[in-house]
Amino acid sequence: MGAVAPPELAAAVSEAGGLGMLGTAHPGLTAASLAQQLKRLRALTAKPFGVNFIVAPQVREHLDLDCVEIAARAARVVEFFYAEPDRAFVEMVHRGGALVSWQVGSKREAIAAAGAGCDLIVAQGVEAGGHVRGTISTLVLLTEVIGSVNVPVLAAGGIGTGRAMAAALAAGADGVRVGTRFLAATEAAAHPEYVAALMASQAEDTIYTTAFSRGFRDAPHRVLRSCVTAVEACQGDTVGETTALDGTRILAPRYMAFGVDKTATGMIGAMSLFAGESVGAVKRVEPAADILRMLIDEYARQRR
Ligand SMILES: Cc1cc2nc3c(=O)[nH]c(=O)nc-3n(C[C@H](O)[C@H](O)[C@H](O)COP(=O)(O)O)c2cc1C
């Protein structure tokens, strides 16, 4: 989840028994800045964690492959998203000693991921927040994918409660990916205005759109509807500024998709406020460990 999910959030999730994921979709990503982030993460937890890379062609051309190698040596799982599964990435990660996950949006892509040697697959439905690969609902995709591959499959998209988690696991998922629900975690770095907007929103307040396509075309995403209205209404070429991983201040171009973290200044409401349909479960700011405990307790109650 890039800038909004710093090492502190990944570490807190791992400490609480989940597999915390460090997102690398952050301006200023270099081998050196990633190594710094991984150092911070490892200082906070000795538990396994994952590192995620968006490898869409337009992002990949700027990706230093040393980042993937560093991640493969440090993490238990390295995950890729938003591109056709690629055996070269899988082999690179295996050489470093980590497992490979590929987040997919279709049965065809899941079969390709398994064929490329991935160890696990995340099936992402159209309900998901952030960039969305899936075009059909999570439960429908999940059941299609489970029947087509022989590796563990996690469900992603719309899972923000123990009830939804129970539904995915009952349908045969080996685990779940939860994104939006953690945006208001104490350890997350989402901008306070963004967090307030999330807490005031329901599933209907999100929209699947291509509005924030500057620099990353043909990549649908789910955001709060209000930010699309706001960005369309505002004038000018930029909506504010944010801070890159190396600490430099950079402009936030209008219609650019990025993680709106606490360093962002300007028209926060007109920035890409990613949110999944699970947003209705985001009600307060609380530690990631409490969120995880609530999900598991509610899941356990459903199973009784
Ligand atoms: C703010 C935000 C940022 C995200 N960034 C990434 C990312 O960098 N890489 C990735 O693979 N998925 C990313 N996702 C998608 C998640 O992996 C996952 O599919 C999604 O959060 C699941 O749906 P949910 O938001 O309803 O829990 C992001 C999601 C959100 C909400």
Of 212, 217, 221, 216, the closest CA to residue 239 belongs to 212
User: Quick one: which atom of ligand 1 is closest to the CA of 82?
Assistant: 11
- Which residue is closest in CA terms to ligand 1's atom 6? 1
Closest atom of ligand 1 to 157 CA is: 23
Query: What pLDDT does residue 304 have?
Result: 74
pTM across the whole model: 0.97
Which of 276, 41, 48, 285 shows the shortest CA–CA distance to 155? 276
Q: How far apart are CA 151 and CA 293, in angstroms?
A: 27
**Could you report the per-residue pLDDT of 152-207, keeping only the tens digit for each?**
999 999 999 999 999 999 999 999 999 999 999 999 999 999 999 999 999 999 99
Residue 303: per-residue pLDDT: 76
Ligand 1 centroid to Cα of residue 304, in Å, is 30
Report the separation in Å between the CA atom of 1 and the middle of ligand 1, taken as the mean of its atom positions. Answer: 6
Task: Compute mean pLDDT per 10 residues along the chain, 304 residues long, and list them.
Answer: 91 98 92 96 98 92 94 98 97 98 98 98 98 98 97 98 97 98 98 98 98 92 98 95 93 96 98 98 98 96 82
Ligand 1 midpoint to CA 53 (Å): 11
pLDDT, position 62: 86
Ligand 1 pocket mutation pick from 19, 120, 136, 180 by most atoms within 8 angstroms of CB? 180
Q: What DSSP letter does each residue of 7-18 carry, written as one string?
A: HHHHHHHHHTTS
Which parts of 45-181 fold into alpha helices (H)? 57-60, 65-74, 87-96, 107-115, 138-146, 162-170
CA nearest neighbour of 16 among 299, 300, 295: 295
Spatial distance between the Cα atoms of 279 and 259, rounded to a whole number of angstroms: 16
Residues 179 and 188: their CA atoms lie apart, in Å, by 11
- Secondary structure class of 226 (helix, strand, coil): helix
SS3 236: coil
Q: Whose CA is nearest to atom 15 of ligand 1?
A: 130
Whole-number pLDDT of residue 122: 98
SS3 21: strand
Ligand 1 site residues, Cβ closer than 6 angstroms: 1-2, 4, 23, 25, 52, 54, 81, 103, 124, 127-130, 156-160, 177-181, 183, 259, 274, 276, 278
pLDDT at 49: 98
Number of H helices, E strands in the chain: 11, 13
